[in-house]
Structure 1
Amino acid sequence: MKRVFDLAGQALLYGSFAVFVGTFSHWPAYAPLAPDQALIKLSFVHHGQRVAECRPYTAEELAKLAPNMRAPLKCERERAPVAVELDIDGVPAYQHVAAPSGLSRDGASTVYKRLEVPAGKHRITVRMRDTTATSGFTYQHDATVELVPAQVLVIDFDSQRGEIVLL
């Protein structure tokens, strides 16, 4: 008799767990975007240009270094911050200056921005500067895109080709 109660209790617990999982796997409904919205993600990791150019060591500087440390050039590690601007339909949508990572400011700059836009045709302009210049941009990309509802457009920087790409 005890065995029957044990099996019935076990079936009741397993059944209630299955109902719990089944209920919350379908409810509440999750919609990442409104039905008429699309998503633009600006996401890249990029190393800015070096702040200072490499230069040859002077004879005095080389003499002070240990023999195994005598490289022909001295290169500073610090990199320039990366500035990015995104315009959608001629209206500035995002502007950001990403500082280089690392204690010596010699790592990559990271940019991530998520923008919800109405589905439809949009003019996208992305500009990026990775030098110490205070005006002008090193890279620029203009495109007209047709976004369907729930589409995700990713804006990235392809370091192999040296250009901004839309995926």
Structure 2
Amino acid sequence: MKRALNWTGQALLYGGFAVALGVFSRWPVYHPLPEDMAQIKVSFIHHGARVAECRPYTAEEQAKMPPNMRKAEKCERERSPVSIEVDIDGKTVLAHTSPPSGLSRDGASTLYQRLNVSAGQHQIAVRFKDNQKSEQFTSQIDETVTLKPAQVLVIDYSTDKGGIVLQ
């Protein structure tokens, strides 16, 4: 008798849990974006240019190194910060500089930013700079895009694809 009560209680608890799970999986309704809105995601992971140029080792420096560690050039590790500016319809909505990661400032610079915009046609200008020695931006793009409601446009930087990528 006691065992039957244990099984019944356990079945009621599991059933209640399943009902609660089912209710909360459908309610309240989640909308990631309001109606008639689209989203632009600016996301990149990029190594900036080296701060210092590589230089050849002198004969004295190479003589101090073990034979298996001798290289022709010495390259500093520190990288430039990466800057990006995004204009939508002529208005600057994002201006950010990402420092390089790592204790020696030799890692990649990263950025992930979401921008909600109204659906429709927009003029998007993106400027990217990955070399602090340069006064000008190293890469630029200016395009007109048409965004549908709930569409997500990703702005990325890829050296393999030729620079700034809108997808």
Which TM-score applies when normalising by structure 2?
A: 0.93
Distance 1:59 1:135 in 2: 36
Structure 1 unaligned residues grouped into runs of 5+: none
CA RMSD for the aligned pairs? Answer: 1.5
1:49 is paired with a residue whose SS is coil
Deviation of 1:139 (Å): 0.6
Deviations 1:73-111 (CA, angstroms, capped at 9, x unpaired): 111111111011011111001011111111111111001
**DSSP 3-state at the match of 2:15:** helix
Matches within 5 A, 1:1-167: 1-133=1-133, 135-167=135-167
Q: Distance in 2 between matches of 1:134 and 1:73?
A: 24
Change (3 A) 1:2 1:65: closer
Deviation, 1:134, is 5.5
Higher mean alpha-carbon deviation, 74-83 vs 15-24, is at: 15-24
Instruction: Report the Cα distance in structure 2 between the residues aligned to 1:109 and 1:40, rounded to whole angstroms.
Output: 20
SS at match of 1:52: coil
1:98-149 Cα deviation digits (max 9, x unpaired):
1111111111100111100111110111111110235310011111111111
Of 142-151 and 5-14, more deviation after overlay is shown by 5-14
Q: What is the TM-score of this pair, normalised by structure 1? A: 0.93
Q: Distance in 1 between matches of 2:13 and 2:67?
A: 74
Could you tell me how far apart the structure 1 residues matched to 2:7 and 2:67 are?
Answer: 79
Q: C-alpha distance in 1, partners of 2:134/2:55? A: 23
Displacement, 1:6?
3.7
Shift, 1:160, TM fit: 1.0
- How far apart are residue 5 of structure 1 and its match? 3.3
CA shift for structure 1 position 7: 4.1
Unpaired runs of 5+ in structure 2? none
The percent of aligned pairs where both chains have the same amino acid is: 62
Residue deviations 1:20-57, cap 9 Å, x none? 11111111111111011100000010011111111111
